[in-house]
A and B are shown apart, each in its own frame.
Chain A
Amino acid sequence: MAVRQIQAICSSARATWKIHAISVAHRLGAVPVGETSVFIAVSAVHHADALDACKFMIDELKATVPIWKKEVYSNGEVWKENPEFMERRSMEPAGKAVDAPNVACRRICCGAKSKVSDESTACEMNLE
């Protein structure tokens, strides 16, 4: 589904900006701290189109592509939550688990339920 969603984002970008080529890559599995997890490249005749499309795509990816990141520390682990996803949920009724437009999702859902006490000992990320 992640691939389908990324393809949909590419189609949206093409519908909005005049762009030539798009390349998106996302790592899965263990990603050591400091290494790149996502890559988006856009080419266009006009640089503004390329930059705007690129920004759109990373924002959309963080809001809608079903990929999860778990940060693993020496003393625990925590599932990260993208603010882009949380904001999008509070704006759009479709896709909500609860049909209640007045229900505001908590700012942090699963991220608070972690065993981490010392965040300075980050080790690696697990992407699935």
Chain B
Amino acid sequence: MAASELKTENVDVKPVGNAAAAASSVNVRVLFFARARDLTGAADTLLEVTSGSTAGDLIELIARFPGLEEIRECMVLALNEEYTSNSAVVKENDELAIIPPISGG
């Protein structure tokens, strides 16, 4: 079954993050590479999440998209072109890259 195009309006995207945080939200672009791009059918998507959300929160959202479970255990994250951990807080206009196992060289 071919992966359908990733449209955020087709997915029930609920705000996540600290419940006590302000109601403001931040827009984060998530980039898919290699196998992740194959699985989602998209090069990138825009997510709107609660201010104070972490990279890990975004991964929870992204994991709802069919197929990404396959690489969940082996992928790493990069926030604004630098490797990061799940606990990094994302800000407005940040870019989070989903990086499956690499194979340069």
Closest to A86 in B: B101
A residues less than 8 Å from B59 (CB atoms): 97
| Interface residues as binary, A49-83 with B (CB distance below 8 Å gives 1, 0 otherwise) | 00000000010011011111110000000011110
Q: Given that A96-B85, A98-B86 are contacting pairs, would A109 and B105 also be in contact in the complex, using a CB cutoff of 8 Å?
A: no
**Could you list which residues of chain A lie within 8 angstroms of chain B, going by C-beta atoms?**
1-2, 4, 26, 37-38, 58, 61-62, 64-70, 79-82, 85-86, 89, 93-99, 103, 105-106, 109-111, 113, 127-128
Contact of B104 among A61, A95, A97, A110 (CB under 8 A): A61
A residues less than 8 Å from B74 (CB atoms): 81, 86, 89, 97, 105-106, 109-110
Contact of B103 among A2, A64, A69, A103 (CB under 8 A): A69
Q: Given that A96-B85, A97-B77, A99-B85 are contacting pairs, would A1 and B97 also be in contact in the complex, using a CB cutoff of 8 Å?
A: yes
- Check if B102 sits within 8 Å of A97, measured CB to CB: no
Closest to B105 in A: A62
- Check if A99 sits within 8 Å of B83, measured CB to CB: no
Q: Which of B10-18, B22-30, B45-53, B65-73 contacts A (4 or more CB under 8 A)?
A: B65-73
- Check if A110 sits within 8 Å of B86, measured CB to CB: no
- Check if A68 sits within 8 Å of B33, measured CB to CB: yes
Give the residues from 74 to 105 in chain B that come closer than 8 angstroms, CB to CB, to chain A.
74-78, 81-87, 97, 99-105
**Distance in angstroms between the alpha carbons of A58 and B85 in the assembled complex:** 24
